[in-house]
Amino acid sequence: MDARMLVDCDIHIGYETLSDLLPYLDPPTRELVIHSGSNGLVMPSYPWNHPTGWVRHDLYDRHETHDSNFTYLSLEVLRERHLDAYDVTLGIVEPDEAAAFSILPNAQLAARLCSAYNDWLLERWLQEEPRLRGMLVVPAQYPEAAAREIRRLGGRDEFVGVFLPGAARIPYGNQRFPGTRVAMVEGGLVPFVGFLWRLDANWKACRSEIPWCRRRPSDYVWEHVRFATQPLESPDDPAQLLAAIEFLRPAETLMYASDFPHWDFDEPEQTLRQLPAEWRDSIRARNAVDFFRLPLLAAV
């Protein structure tokens, strides 16, 4: 694999307004989006806002007004300021405001919005830019509809995974699906170390309660879970970070992520310079190629 290859596992894009999804919605839902409330349907807002805003002011005018927490980013700007600027071989697209579909009380509405968003993403972004791959947005609160959406579009090469937000009503996953794989994105790294230590310790003491778990929980993690670099913790002594995350087997489990274009964007080379040279090629691309099963890149 070419050492210059770079896979970015966390690029955020979103519609300019929810009205962008109107052409992809059925008539009743279109009517609801247009006429709901006083000014049309709006998504739940984040409970906490960054004190100076989410967006990078080198990309946006700080005096612009927006309908949501997230500012619209055009494909042209994404190409110029990120894909071309950092020679990104392939970028995995995550949602911005569309992540809120999974917390809407109206599960039927959420399912229709998810389908519309996925069709919009496919037509306006993924088919226009071959360096992008998408994560399907599904209604986590409506598993049957989520499964239908995965069956509808999950077989397309443009999509490489399914986006699920945190704070699920019930824990994700089931031991009936042992092939499930999960990427933990935007959760940092150090907290997972203590969490896995605790899981392993509790398993030793209480494993009679879960006889189907035949190995330490961390052993399953190495096989099925990958972690994104962003946000990479930044202690005053860089050596402390390496000592803290070494347990996570970063050369095997860590994938580069930028979080572009959010305010805490992590530049590729700046991120990789903080990590040992022997880890870098795997983190730049190899781990992501293997995890997302990217046949075209794997053949390079």
Q: Quick one: fold of 7-298? A: TIM Barrel (3.20.20)
- 3-class DSSP assignment, residue 132: strand
Q: What is the pLDDT along the chain (300 residues), one digit of tens a residue?
A: 676 899 999 999 999 999 999 999 999 999 999 999 888 998 987 767 777 766 677 777 655 555 556 778 899 999 999 999 999 999 999 999 999 999 999 999 999 999 999 999 999 999 999 999 999 999 999 999 999 999 999 999 999 999 999 877 778 888 888 899 999 999 999 999 999 999 999 999 999 998 989 999 999 999 999 999 999 999 999 899 999 999 999 999 999 999 999 888 999 999 999 999 999 999 999 999 999 998 655 444
Bridge partner list, 137: 163
Domain borders along the chain are 7-298
pTM of this prediction exceeds 0.85: yes
In contact, 164 and 102? CB cutoff 8 Å: yes
Distance CA 20, CA 76 (A): 17
